Amino acid sequence: MINISEVLETNRMILEENLDVRTITMGVSLLDCADSSVRNTCDRIYAKLTRLAKDLVKTGDDIGREFGVPVVNKRVSITPAAIVGSSCCKKPSDFVKIAKTLDRAAKKLGINFIGGYSAVVSKGMTPADELLIRSIPEAMAATERVCSSVNVGSTKTGIDMDAVRLMGEIVKETAARTKDRDSIGCAKLVVLCNAPDDNPFMAGAFHGVSEADAVVNVGVSGPGVVNHVLRHTCRGADFETLCETIKKTAFKITRVGQLVAQEASKRLGVPFGIIDLSLAPTPAIGDSVADILREIGLDEPGAPGTTAALALLNDQVKKGGVMASSYVGGLSGAFIPVSEDQGMIDAVNAGALTIEKLEAMTCVCSVGLDMIAIPGATSAATISGIIADEAAIGMVNQKTTAVRVIPVAGKKVGDTVEFGGLLGHAPVMRVSKFSCGNMIARKGRIPAPIHSFKN
């Protein structure tokens, strides 16, 4: 029988330590919506989304109320739009019509983001892939809730450097098209390597072609809970105690996600896909991965030892989480966005955290350079260089990596950018002034690494 201390512990996590289910994301295949006419494709997409996901928001809210745990976001991810629109879209503006349809469906459903305005071009781009990529700046400017991602590499295929070069330009153009809103278009655009097909977190969520017609994926969170437990039970403790404590806490957090996922799947009549057991921070005070790193024993994230501390944290979260759910997927690990984590922002402002150190940290956690504001004058080639570096880390280490940088039009190092809401605010960070232009100008792709040949 449940006892009072367990009940109080759970409710303290929810009420005081920001425990929540970060997102219920319904993945929907749009492969059956493809048509030779843009208009018919858009109509079919709108009809399918508003039919399959019509109860998503209500279901999430009902579950949240009944179990007393907030279900913060309800979202939808779709088949990469470059595939869906490949038969009908003959110019970038055709793809923008699909983006606008997705935005309209998102508003009708009451969800805050829809992901999958995407192209998977790890080895090469089809004409449709390239058209979609070229439409991204306009699509991000013309829509509010659509998220875009482009997968430019994988361990099995290597890195498509033509796509990397193009994405540097597209990121710059997206920033310019939304310059009146602190270049917020780039906050909805991520460039990935080894992108998972079942990621429920934005901006990189899409519903891969390996997936069923519809699935429910759930992303849990809870950096505040881990931080609280470490602060109260692990100060001065040895590594074994530290790891054991993080594991147990991750288990408890993930079990809540598992419960919510099963309930959502049952009520929506859609199969359960995976739990993404990520520590996803928010700008709320205390809901910070950086604060956990401080609690492990760093003055500031970015100090020597940061990569080791993050590696430890990431691994224990996974070890605790996999015991709590049979189907773990997505990104699963600690997120280290800058603008969405007040502790990271403080570390940047203190001069402790640089892009180069963040890059090292991405070798041992589940994502990449995320929500980082950089000077608006940064060249497209330099952005491509940053993307190539992250993709190389992902390719060689057989893990997902991503780049979501915002070259904020008109801003320079030391300025601050305000995105609002979950996206937070960010100090503009310094980028190396040395050029990689001649390397980025080379055509073709970087071959797959030797350890990918496992057949």
Which residues make up the interface to another protein (CB under 8 A)? 1-4, 6-11, 65-69, 252, 255-256, 258-259, 323
3 state DSSP class of 406: strand
Nearest to 348 by CA among 258, 425, 400, 243: 425
Nearer to another protein, 197 or 276 (CB): 276
Whether residue 185 contacts residue 174, with contact meaning beta carbons closer than 8 Å, is answered with: yes
Q: Classify each residue of 113-141 as buried b or exposed e, where b means 16 or more C-beta atoms within 10 Å of its C-beta.
A: bbbbbbbbbbbebeebbbbbbbbbbbbbb
Shortest spacing between CB 67 and another protein, in angstroms: 4
Pull the structure tokens for residue 5.
């201390």
Whether residue 392 contacts residue 154, with contact meaning beta carbons closer than 8 Å, is answered with: no
Nearer to another protein, 22 or 134 (CB): 22
Nearer to another protein, 254 or 288 (CB): 254
Nearest to 144 by CA among 98, 179, 92, 102: 102
Shortest spacing between CB 252 and another protein, in angstroms: 5
Shortest spacing between CB 27 and another protein, in angstroms: 23
Count the alpha carbons within 13 Å of 20 in the hemisphere toward its beta carbon: 20
Nearer to another protein, 105 or 225 (CB): 225
Shortest spacing between CB 250 and another protein, in angstroms: 12
Q: Using alpha carbons only, how large is the chain's radius of gyration in Å?
A: 21
* Cβ-based neighbours of 70, under 8 Å, separated by 6 or more: 14, 20, 21, 64
Nearest to 453 by CA among 154, 153, 156, 124: 156
Nearer to another protein, 14 or 34 (CB): 14
Paired with 147 in beta bridges are 115
Nearest to 403 by CA among 340, 337, 347: 337
Instruction: Give the whole-angstrom CA distance, residue 254 versus residue 323.
Output: 9
Shortest spacing between CB 260 and another protein, in angstroms: 9
Nearer to another protein, 49 or 324 (CB): 324
Shortest spacing between CB 145 and another protein, in angstroms: 28
Shortest spacing between CB 57 and another protein, in angstroms: 16
Nearer to another protein, 9 or 356 (CB): 9
Q: DSSP label at 25?
A: E
Paired with 427 in beta bridges are 416
Shortest spacing between CB 1 and another protein, in angstroms: 6
Nearer to another protein, 1 or 450 (CB): 1
Nearer to another protein, 63 or 367 (CB): 63
Nearest to 115 by CA among 185, 210, 219, 205: 205
Instruction: Give the whole-angstrom CA distance, residue 395 versus residue 36.
Output: 36
Nearer to another protein, 65 or 108 (CB): 65
Shortest spacing between CB 2 and another protein, in angstroms: 5
Shortest spacing between CB 66 and another protein, in angstroms: 5
